[in-house]
Amino acid sequence: MKLLRRDWNEFWFQPISSIPLGMFRLVFGLLVLSYGLLLLPERFVWFGNRGVLPLTDSNAYNGIGAWVQHLDLLAFRGADHWLSAFFAVFLVAALCLTLGFWTRTSAVIVYLCINTLHSRNAVIHHSGDTVMLVMSAYLVFSSAGAACSLDRLWRIFKGRENDEPPRIVPWAQRLMQLQVAIVYLGASLSKVGGEKWVNGTAAYYPLHLPESARFPTPGSELLWVINLVTWGTIAVELGLATLIWVPRLRLYVLLGGVLLHLGIEYSLNIPLFSFIMIASYMTFLTAADYTNFLAWAKCPLRLTLFRVIYDGECDFCKSALLAVRFLDVFRQLTFVDSHDEAAREATGVNFALAEQAAIAVDPSGKQFAGYDAFRAIAWQLPATTLIAPLLYVPPIPQIGRRVYAWVKDNRGRLPVAPRYQIQEAAEERETTNV
Amino acid sequence: MSSLDNPRDKVRQRRVDRLEKRWWVRKAVNLFIIWHLFCLAIWLLPYRSSSPSPIIEGSLGAVRPYMTFTGFAQSWNMFSPEPDKMDVTLEAEVTHANGHKDHWFFPRMARMSYPHRYQAERWRKLVENATHGSNPILWPPLARYAARVNNYDAQNPPVSVTLISHSRIIPPLGEPLPAYTAVPLQTGHGASVTPIRPEDLR
């Protein structure tokens, strides 16, 4: 009994890295955003009172007489402009959830909105949408903003956290994992009872339904291919329900699931379903998996190690570097205080130049100053890689250099991270006491 | 500066630590986990059992409001126990005041471009739910929607709509595809014809 209690507590409450959950939140938020954007153009058709299922018919379909059994925020206000306002709130909350800004609050709003849309029109939602709904419910209880979030960046600015994201109590994440396993257990067991699944021909039918098929599937007319896909589906789903809990097999089982869902995404038109399922696997990953992935991804990305020389006596510069360090997922940047003479001289940058602007130095010793340094660094950070090419397109460089010059001249007046304000105040107090 | 140099943060951290150590927080989370797992198990059990025991039936009564309200009331039997074999599209035969009939199809995926199909897939799900599961409760609102879409002449408004399913069963591997069969959706009293009132068109 004691052993059972210990294992129970270890499983649900022993702190783990917050990175996997943070990454899941980021990807999940993007999917929620896509779900909202896909529904947005036809919101009045699906959820409006002149649409396919007005409120009274929706309630009749749900089999309810009182709204309280289903969570439907739209039941109070059915007018179309309320629907537009509802979608605006939903999309903003989904964006905030993606960025990890006011994470808990945005998770609550996202959950309420998704649940409302499901209740308001249960007829148009598929299993992937349902997985999205239940995962959003779990996110409400999780510490999803502990890593990879603007909330964390703010905590870094305030000096409450440093380079390492905090560890979190994982009970909500464990519920997500169990939910994923339950989904696959339900799916696989119900297939085992079906004649077409047992005789190995079930996969043939959805692939040949013109309304649900997407791209033509090679080999879908060959019995052995159909057998392989049918039985392979059951095997992978059973694996995702059971073998996923065996640490040594976890990654292989997840890989099987990813391949299964990429196949579904290619051959069947079920919007976002496969991506939601694949995203849910992220809750099974560990911090070590992410570290290994980053190390593996570094090679093909051909990233460069840069040394960044900054003015260590400028609080605004140090604040900006906190954000850069936060975004430097691949740890490609090292930071050198221009006032640290030995370290600066090792980079070959002279003090006068370092006083004028931040300098980025690549391994060959090539120096990039000011806006050019910003542009060189942008290539190294995953969050800014996509905008990096735009930084070369006229007139952006010209504007960028002007903005940089303005910032340099006014940096004493620009806001700084609260941790430096506090430090400054403490130093002032010390000076006064002396 | 270390993360806890600020006295305010030290106080905050102490508060968090205290909360985490409080026995009732852990107890409450434990109770919630047990309750939630119990609900999930009870909810899934009926799908496995053809004759559920009175205990499960009784538990289901307590579990249902929680599962429905939170959105966890799901069965997870995707493409099973048998995969869907019915290829179906839905037509609305809209009769106008002067007797003219319009034939309007609910959007069909097979006739759309790939990107459009992705955005419009909800129509397929709608038609599937309206036709496969025999959900006659959905037919009147769908008929009224079709009437609104085809209400282009104020002098000659739609007065009734008949929903017609065009369907065929996908045959086993190697057999030729049959032709579509068009049949009006049937209620116990014959074809489902929805009368359209002026207020339905607003």
My answer on whether A193 and A162 are in the same domain is: no
Inspect the interface and report whether the beta carbons of A123 and B130 lie closer than 8 Å.
yes
Inspect the interface and report whether the beta carbons of A70 and B69 lie closer than 8 Å.
yes
Bridge partners of A163? none
d(CA B190, CA A121): 28
What was the pLDDT predicted at B136? 87
Least confidently predicted of A34-48, A350-364, B45-59: B45-59
Show which of residues 246-285 on chain A sit within 8 Å of chain B, judged by CB atoms: 269-271
My answer on whether B53 and B94 are in the same domain is: no
ipTM: 0.86
What was the pLDDT predicted at A300? 74
For residue A279, give both structure tokens: 């995203």
Compute the average pLDDT of residues A161-179.
92
Query: How buried is residue B5: exposed, middle or buried, by Cβ count under 10 Å (0-12/13-18/19+)?
Result: middle
How many folded domains does chain A comprise? 3
Residue of A nearest to B136 (CA): A61
My answer on whether B132 and B196 are in the same domain is: yes
Compute the average pLDDT of residues B140-155.
94
What was the pLDDT predicted at B5? 56
What was the pLDDT predicted at B47? 56
Inspect the interface and report whether the beta carbons of A123 and B140 lie closer than 8 Å.
no
- Its domain, for residue A252, covers 170-270
d(CA B92, CA B110): 18
Residue A194 forms contact with B (CB below 8 Å) = yes
Bridge partners of A116? none
My answer on whether B99 and B190 are in the same domain is: yes
My answer on whether A417 and A316 are in the same domain is: yes
Inspect the interface and report whether the beta carbons of B126 and A61 lie closer than 8 Å.
no
Tens digit of each residue's pLDDT (9 = 90 or more) over B59-106:
888 888 888 888 888 777 777 788 889 999 999 999 999 999 999 999
d(CA B143, CA A227): 41
Residue A87 forms contact with B (CB below 8 Å) = no
For residue B61, give both structure tokens: 């009564």
Domain presence at residue B81 = no
Tens digit of each residue's pLDDT (9 = 90 or more) over A139-156:
999 999 999 999 999 999
Compute the average pLDDT of residues A336-353.
85
Mutation site for A-interface testing, chosen from B67, B74, B80, B194 by largest number of A Cβ within 10 Å: B80
My answer on whether A222 and A354 are in the same domain is: no
Give the residue among A83, A95, A90, A94 at the shortest CA–CA distance from A42: A83
Inspect the interface and report whether the beta carbons of B71 and A137 lie closer than 8 Å.
yes
How many folded domains does chain B comprise? 2
Domain presence at residue A194 = yes
| Position B2 pLDDT exceeds 60 | no
My answer on whether A254 and A325 are in the same domain is: no
My answer on whether B131 and B53 are in the same domain is: no
Residue A226 forms contact with B (CB below 8 Å) = yes
d(CA A321, CA A317): 6
| Coil vs helix vs strand at A301 | helix
Question: Do A241 and A188 contact (CB within 8 A), yes or no?
Answer: yes
For residue A97, give both structure tokens: 């959830």
Cross-chain CB nearest to B71 (options A51, A134, A195): A134
Inspect the interface and report whether the beta carbons of B26 and A196 lie closer than 8 Å.
no
Domain presence at residue A296 = no
Compute the average pLDDT of residues A124-136.
93
Cross-chain CB nearest to A187 (options B71, B78, B148): B78
My answer on whether A34 and A160 are in the same domain is: yes
Domain presence at residue B137 = yes
Residue A191 forms contact with B (CB below 8 Å) = yes
Which of A169, A198, A223 delimits the end of a domain? A169
My answer on whether B101 and B57 are in the same domain is: no
My answer on whether A164 and A178 are in the same domain is: no
| Position B1 pLDDT exceeds 50 | no
My answer on whether B110 and B172 are in the same domain is: yes
Residue linked to tokens 């026995």: B23
Question: Do B164 and B105 contact (CB within 8 A), yes or no?
Answer: no
Compute the average pLDDT of residues A390-402.
93
Tens digit of each residue's pLDDT (9 = 90 or more) over B13-46:
666 666 666 777 888 999 999 999 999 888 876 5
| Position A43 pLDDT exceeds 60 | yes
What was the pLDDT predicted at A63? 76
Cross-chain CB nearest to B148 (options A50, A115, A186): A50
My answer on whether A377 and A424 are in the same domain is: yes
My answer on whether B62 and B120 are in the same domain is: no
Residue A97: which residues within 8 A CB-CB, separation 6 or more?
A: A25, A28, A29, A32, A103, A106, A107, A110, A139, A144
Q: Measured between CA atoms, how close is B164 to chain A, in angstroms?
A: 16
Mean pLDDT of chain A: 89
* ∠ Cα A89 A143 B74 (to 5°): 65
The pLDDT > 70 percentage for chain A reads 93
Domain presence at residue B188 = yes
Give the residue among A181, A179, A145 at the shortest CA–CA distance from A21: A145
Cross-chain CB nearest to B6 (options A42, A123, A159): A159
Inspect the interface and report whether the beta carbons of B81 and A190 lie closer than 8 Å.
yes
Least confidently predicted of A78-82, A124-128, A235-239, A252-256: A78-82
| The residue type at A58 | S
Please give the residue that has the higher pLDDT: either A246 or A60: A246
Residue of B nearest to A209 (CA): B87
Domain presence at residue B77 = no
Dihedral of the CA atoms B107, B109, B111, B112 (nearest 10)? 90
Residue linked to tokens 């003479």: A341
Domain presence at residue B184 = yes
My answer on whether A266 and A330 are in the same domain is: no
Longest dimension (CA), chain A: 88
What was the pLDDT predicted at B3? 46
Which of A169, A186, A210 delimits the end of a domain? A169
| Position A53 pLDDT exceeds 70 | yes
My answer on whether B43 and B96 are in the same domain is: no
My answer on whether B92 and B146 are in the same domain is: yes
Highest mean pLDDT among A49-58, A341-350, B140-149: B140-149
- Its domain, for residue B167, covers 86-201
My answer on whether A329 and A382 are in the same domain is: yes
Residue A204 forms contact with B (CB below 8 Å) = yes
What was the pLDDT predicted at A67? 42
For residue A325, give both structure tokens: 């360090």
The H-or-E segment that residue A238 falls in is helix A223-241
Residue linked to tokens 């002007």: A402
| Position A251 pLDDT exceeds 90 | yes
- SS3 of B75-136: the string is CCCCCCCCCCCEEEEEEEEEEECCCCEEEEECCCHHHCCHHHHHHHHHHHHHHHHHHCCCCH
| Coil vs helix vs strand at A382 | coil
Which of A153, A169, A185 delimits the end of a domain? A169
The pLDDT > 90 percentage for chain B reads 49
Tens digit of each residue's pLDDT (9 = 90 or more) over B133-146:
668 899 999 999 99
My answer on whether A160 and A195 are in the same domain is: no
